[in-house]
Chains A and B, each alone.
Chain A
Amino acid sequence: MSDLVALLTDPLASGFMQRGLLAGVIVALVCGVMGSFVVLKGLAFIGDAVSHAAFPGLVIAYLLGVPLYLGGSVAAVATALAIAWVSRRGGLRFDTAVGVLFAGMFALGVLLFTTIEGYAGDLLGYLVGNVLFITAEDLVQLAVLAMIVLAIVLLLRKELLYATFDPGGAQASGLPVARLEYLLLGLLGVTIVVSIQAVGIILVVAMLVTPAATAQLLVVRFSRLLSLAAALAVASSVIGLYLSFYLDVASGAAIVLVETVAFGLAMALGPRTGLIHRVRQSRVVPDAESRSGSGIVGARVP
Chain B
Amino acid sequence: MSEVERAVGNRVPLGPPTRGAVAVRLDDVTVGYGARLALSHVTLEVPAGSLLAVIGPNGAGKSTLIKVMAGLLKPWSGRIETLGGPSGANARRIAYVPQAELVDWHFPVSVGDVVTMGRYPLIGIGRRPGARDRELVTRALVTVGMERLADRQIGALSGGQRRRVFLARALAAEPDLYLLDEPVTGVDATTQEDLMDVLEAETRTGKTVIATTHDLLCAAQRFHDVAFVNQRLVSTGPAGSVFDQRLLAETYGGHVLILQGELGTTVALDDAHHHDDAAGNERHYHEEGR
Q: Which residues of A contact B (CB under 8 A)?
A: 40, 90-91, 155-156, 158-159, 161-162, 165-166, 168-175, 216, 219-222, 225
Contact A170 B121 (CB under 8 A): yes
Can you report 28 residue pairs joining A to B where beta carbons are below 8 Å apart?
A91-B34, A155-B126, A156-B126, A158-B123, A159-B120, A161-B117, A161-B120, A162-B117, A162-B120, A165-B107, A165-B109, A165-B114, A165-B117, A168-B67, A168-B70, A168-B102, A169-B95, A169-B97, A172-B71, A172-B72, A172-B96, A173-B96, A174-B92, A174-B121, A216-B108, A219-B108, A221-B108, A222-B108
* Distance between A225 CB and nearest chain B CB, rounded to angstroms: 5
Q: Which 6 pairs from chain A and chain B are nearest by CB?
A: A174-B91, A172-B96, A172-B70, A220-B153, A174-B92, A173-B121
* Distance between B87 CB and nearest chain A CB, rounded to angstroms: 10
Closest to B118 in A: A173
Closest to A225 in B: B108
B62 interface residue (CB < 8 Å to A): no
Chain A residues within 8 Å of B91, by CB: 171-174
Closest to A177 in B: B72
Closest to B151 in A: A221
* Distance between A38 CB and nearest chain B CB, rounded to angstroms: 14
* Bound-state Cα–Cα, A158 to B114, Å: 11
Chain A residues within 8 Å of B109, by CB: 161, 165, 221-222
Contact B108 A172 (CB under 8 A): no
B256 interface residue (CB < 8 Å to A): no
Contact A172 B120 (CB under 8 A): no
Number of A-B contacts (CB under 8 A): 86
* Distance between A83 CB and nearest chain B CB, rounded to angstroms: 19
Interface positions, chain B 93-150, Cβ under 8 Å from A, are 94-98, 102-104, 107-110, 113-114, 117-118, 120-121, 123, 125-126
Q: Interface code B223-256, partner A: CB below 8 Å = 1, 0 otherwise? A: 0000000000000000000000000000000000
10 extra interface residue pairs, beta carbon distance < 8 Å, beyond A158-B120, A170-B121, A216-B108: A158-B125, A161-B109, A168-B96, A169-B95, A169-B117, A171-B70, A172-B91, A172-B96, A172-B179, A175-B120
B207 interface residue (CB < 8 Å to A): no
B173 interface residue (CB < 8 Å to A): yes
Chain A residues within 8 Å of B118, by CB: 173
Contact B110 A220 (CB under 8 A): yes
Given A166-B98, A222-B113, CB of A173 within 8 Å of CB of B92 = yes
Chain B residues within 8 Å of A165, by CB: 104, 107, 109, 114, 117
* Bound-state Cα–Cα, A159 to B123, Å: 10
Chain A residues within 8 Å of B97, by CB: 169
Contact B125 A155 (CB under 8 A): yes
* Distance between B177 CB and nearest chain A CB, rounded to angstroms: 10
Contact B98 A169 (CB under 8 A): yes
Contact check: which of A156, A171, A220 meets B72 at CB < 8 Å?
A: A171
Residue of A40, A161, A170, A174 ringed by the most chain B CB atoms within 10 A? A174
Contact B117 A166 (CB under 8 A): yes
Contact check: which of B34, B103, B108 meets A166 at CB < 8 Å?
A: B103
Closest to B91 in A: A174
* Distance between B239 CB and nearest chain A CB, rounded to angstroms: 25
B169 interface residue (CB < 8 Å to A): yes
Contact B121 A175 (CB under 8 A): yes
Chain A residues within 8 Å of B88, by CB: 174
Closest to A36 in B: B108
Chain A residues within 8 Å of B153, by CB: 220-221
Chain A residues within 8 Å of B110, by CB: 220-221
* Distance between B90 CB and nearest chain A CB, rounded to angstroms: 8
* Distance between A12 CB and nearest chain B CB, rounded to angstroms: 36
Closest to A175 in B: B121
Chain B residues within 8 Å of A173, by CB: 91-92, 94-96, 118, 120-121, 173, 175
* Bound-state Cα–Cα, A220 to B114, Å: 13
Contact B117 A168 (CB under 8 A): no
* Bound-state Cα–Cα, A238 to B275, Å: 73
Q: Interface code B169-185, partner A: CB below 8 Å = 1, 0 otherwise? A: 10001010001000000
Chain B residues within 8 Å of A40, by CB: 107-108
Residue of A40, A155, A168, A173 ringed by the most chain B CB atoms within 10 A? A173
Chain B residues within 8 Å of A162, by CB: 117, 120-121
Chain A residues within 8 Å of B108, by CB: 40, 216, 219-222, 225
Closest to B104 in A: A165
* Distance between A222 CB and nearest chain B CB, rounded to angstroms: 5
* Distance between A273 CB and nearest chain B CB, rounded to angstroms: 13
* Bound-state Cα–Cα, A221 to B116, Å: 13
Chain B residues within 8 Å of A216, by CB: 108
Closest to A154 in B: B126
* Bound-state Cα–Cα, A171 to B73, Å: 11
Chain B residues within 8 Å of A222, by CB: 107-109, 113
* Distance between B227 CB and nearest chain A CB, rounded to angstroms: 19
* Distance between A89 CB and nearest chain B CB, rounded to angstroms: 10
